[in-house]
């Protein structure tokens, strides 16, 4: 099994990186994990280190973004699919609202309570409170999940478990799955939109439109070329094979059964990129 170490970071796009960083740190309570100038991003997390993914703020730039700039710019002001956990949803919502964050409480499902908030670019992100939280504290505890859209849940789960070694927790009644590389890592949460579950057909069409997109979800490995060879031997398709990135590490892109694209990186050092 190829050594995929973590789901390391998830991209969110902004018109102004400095403004977005100020919003997430001052109003939401995230902290900076890294500011690599040559990578053109800001990496933020609920803590300075952790097994969960970093929120990577990107400002699309034609000078550095290549062919993906237009697609990235179109994602500004959309539903990100990123979900953070809090052990006290009510207190967290009150704190964020007091700091000027727009937050909407969505309700309860399976014992978990949910809300969503909007950043300075009107991107929306989710909050969830576990059904049995051991301690009740205001604030975000980790990036818990990021969603992807799939036509076939079974095929998606099989791909990530067999090819990448992720462990799955399924809820067959609710029709979703959570795939993790480690218990404290961020989950990849595939779901298949069901037309009957949508009051507005436009929202169903919008979710289906995410199939076959650049997810801006990145996995980390200690040896990218070796992992690439092992993944290809398992039938994984690569859109772009290992090459040196402008930021100094190795990078590649692979596809899942729905042609959703993911990044695979080998950092220059053991620190997060």
Q: Which residue numbers in the chain have pLDDT < 70?
A: 1-2, 35-40, 62-68, 170-175, 268-273
Domain boundaries, the chain: 4-266
| Burial class of residue 197 (count of CB atoms within 10 Å of its CB; 0-12, 13-18, 19+) | exposed
Q: Give the right CATH number for 4-266 from 3.10.180.10, 3.40.1190.20, 3.30.70.1020, 2.130.10.30.
A: 3.10.180.10
Rounded distance, CA 24 to CA 46, Å? 10
No. of H helices and E strands in the chain? 6, 16
Q: Is the dihedral of CA 223, 46, 135, 123 positive or negative?
A: negative
User: CA-to-CA distance for 263 and 252, rounded, in angstroms?
Assistant: 6
Largest Cα separation within the chain, whole Å, is 53
pLDDT for res 267: 83
């Amino acid at each position: 099994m190829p050594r995929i170490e973590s789901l390391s970071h998830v991209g969110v796009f902004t018109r102004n990186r400095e403004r977005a960083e100020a919003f997430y740190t001052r109003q939401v309570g995230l902290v900076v994990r890294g500011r690599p100038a040559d990578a053109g991003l800001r990496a933020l997390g609920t803590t300075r280190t952790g097994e969960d993914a970093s929120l990577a703020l990107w400002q699309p730039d034609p000078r550095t973004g290549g062919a993906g700039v237009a697609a990235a710019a179109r994602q500004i002001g959309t539903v990100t699919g990123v979900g953070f956990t809090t052990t006290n949803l009510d207190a967290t919502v009150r704190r964020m609202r007091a700091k000027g964050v727009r937050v909407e409480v969505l309700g309860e499902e399976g014992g978990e309570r949910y809300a969503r908030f909007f950043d300075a670019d009107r991107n929306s992100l989710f909050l969830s409170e576990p059904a049995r939280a051991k301690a009740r504290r205001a604030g975000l505890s980790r990036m818990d999940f990021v969603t992807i859209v799939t036509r076939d849940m079974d095929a998606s789960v099989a791909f990530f478990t067999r090819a990448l070694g992720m462990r799955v927790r399924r809820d067959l009644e609710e029709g979703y799955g959570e795939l993790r590389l480690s218990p404290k890592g961020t989950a990849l949460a595939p779901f298949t939109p069901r037309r009957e579950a949508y009051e507005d057909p436009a929202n169903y069409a919008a979710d289906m439109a995410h199939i076959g997109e650049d997810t801006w979800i990145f996995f980390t490995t200690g040896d990218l070329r070796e992992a690439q060879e092992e993944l290809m031997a398992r039938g994984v398709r690569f859109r772009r094979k290992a090459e040196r990135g402008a930021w100094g590490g190795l990078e590649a892109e692979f596809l899942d059964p729905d042609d959703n694209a993911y990044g695979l990186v080998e950092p220059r050092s053991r620190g997060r990129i």
